[in-house]
Amino acid sequence: MFRFFKIKKWFLWSWLGSFLILFSLWVQVKIDVKINEWFGKFYDMIQKALSKPNSITMEEYWESLFSFISLAGLYVSVYVIMIFFTAHYLFRWRTAMVEWYHSVFDKASKIEGAAQRVQEDTIKFSRIMESLGTSLIESIMVLIQFIPILLGLSIGIPIYFFGDWEYGLITGALLWTIGGTIFLIGLGWILRLVGVEYDLQKKEAAYRKLLVIAEDDNTVRPKNIEELFEDVRSIHFFSFIRYLYFNIGRMAYMQANVLSAYVFLAPAIVAGVVTLGVMQQIIRAFGRVEGSMQYILKAWPTIIELASVYKRLREFESKIKQEDLIDEKI
C-alpha cells in the first residue's frame, strides 16, 4: 500500500506532492487566523455602533465587510486548488498500488475477492485518505496556531470551574474533548464496529463472487445465491442496530458540545468583563481548538471504514506473498 513512497517513478508525486499539500494547509490555517482576528474587530465595531448611534461611518462598515470578502476569497482559492491537486495526488497513489497488483495478478486472482480488492478497495482507500489525511494534518496545524491565540485572549478572564487560571479555557477544551473521545472509542470498541464493517465486506465479496460465477456456470443454483444474500442481509441489519446505538451516543455528545464554550465563559459574560468582539474571537478560537481535538470523534465512522479497508488490503497482500512462497517451494 505504501510502495508509492518507495518507488523512484513516483518520487516527485509522493514527496514533493506531500510537501505542497502540507504547505497549502498551512496557508489555509494562517488565513483562518486572520479571519478570527477580523471577527473580533468587526463585532467590537457592531457593539460600538449599537451602543452609540452614528459612532461609526458607512465607509468603515463597508470597508470591514470587504476586508472579510478578500480573506474569504483567498481562503476559497487556496482550498479549491488544494482539493484539485490532492485528488490527482491520491489517484497516483492508487495507480502505484494497482500497478503492483496487476504485476502479480496471476497469483492474486487465485485469492477470493481479488477483483474487489484491486478495484473497489483501492479506490475506497484513496477517497478516504483524501478527506481523512488532509483533515488530520489541518487539525494539527490549527492546534499549533490557535492554542497560543486562545491563551492570549483568556488572560484575566474568569473561567467557569477554573477561575482566573490562564490555562483554564485550554484545559477545559482538552478535558471535554478527551472525555468525549474516550467515550466514543469505548462505545465503538464495545459495539465491535471495525469487526462488523470487516465482516460485512467479506459477506458482500462472497455474494458478488457467486453472482459472477453464476453468469457462466449454469450449475450454480438460485438457492445458493439466496442463502448468501440472506447472510448479507443479516449482517447489514446487525450493523444497522450497532450504528444506531453508536449514533445516539455520538450525536448526544455533539449537541452538548455546542454549549461548551458558553458554559466555560459564563462568569465572564455575566460579569460583563469581555466585549462582544473578544467573546466572538474566544468562542471561534475555542471552537477551532476543540474541533481539532475532536478530530477522532467527528471522523470516527470514516476511520472505522478506513481501518476495515486497510485490514482487507493488508490481508490480501499477505496472501499474495504466501502464494509466492508456495510457488518457490514447488
Give the residue numbers spanning the domain of 187: 3-329
Is 326 a residue whose pLDDT tops 60? Answer: no
High-pLDDT (> 70) share of the chain, %: 85
Residue 71's pLDDT band (boundaries 50, 70, 90)? Answer: very high
> What is the widest separation between alpha-carbon atoms in the chain?
91
Beta-carbon contacts of residue 293 (< 8 Å; ≥ 6 apart): 139, 143, 173, 174, 177, 178, 181
Query: Is residue 77 predicted with pLDDT exceeding 90?
Result: yes
pLDDT of residue 328: 44
Using a 10 angstrom Cβ sphere, with 0-12 exposed, 13-18 middle and 19 or more buried, the burial of residue 128 is: buried
Tell me which DSSP letter residue 157 carries: -
pLDDT the model gives residue 142? 83
pLDDT at 198 over 80: no
Specify the pLDDT at position 76. Answer: 93
The pLDDT tens digits of the residues spanning 208-256 come to 777 777 766 666 666 667 777 788 788 888 888 888 888 888 888 888 8
Residue 156 pLDDT greater than 70, yes or no: yes
Backbone angles phi, psi at 261, to 5 degrees: -65, -40
Q: What's the rounded mean pLDDT across residues 308-320?
A: 76
Q: Is the predicted pLDDT of residue 50 greater than 50, yes or no? A: yes
Set of cell numbers at residue 235: 449482517
Task: Give the phi and the psi of residue 159 in degrees, each rounded to 5.
Answer: -115, 135
Q: What element of type H or E holds 15?
A: none
In the chain, the number of structural domains is 1
Q: What is the spatial distance between Cα 81 and Cα 236, in angstroms, rounded to a whole number? A: 38
pLDDT single digits (tens) 272-301: 888 888 888 888 888 888 777 777 666 767
Q: Say yes or no to pLDDT of 325 above 60.
A: no
Which amino acid, 42?
F
Is 324 a residue whose pLDDT tops 90?
A: no
* pLDDT given at position 195: 80
Tens digits of per-residue pLDDT, 83-141? 888 888 888 877 877 777 777 667 666 666 666 666 667 777 777 776 777 777 788 88
Residue 9: other Cβ atoms inside 10 A: 12
Q: How far apart are CA 98 and CA 103, in angstroms?
A: 9
On average, the pLDDT of the chain sits at: 79
Rounded CA-CA distance 14/176 in Å is 37
pLDDT at 217: 63
Render 173-207 in DSSP notation, one character per residue: HHHHHHHHHHHHHHHHHHTTHHHHHHHHHHHHHHH
CATH number of the domain at 119, please: 1.20.1560.10
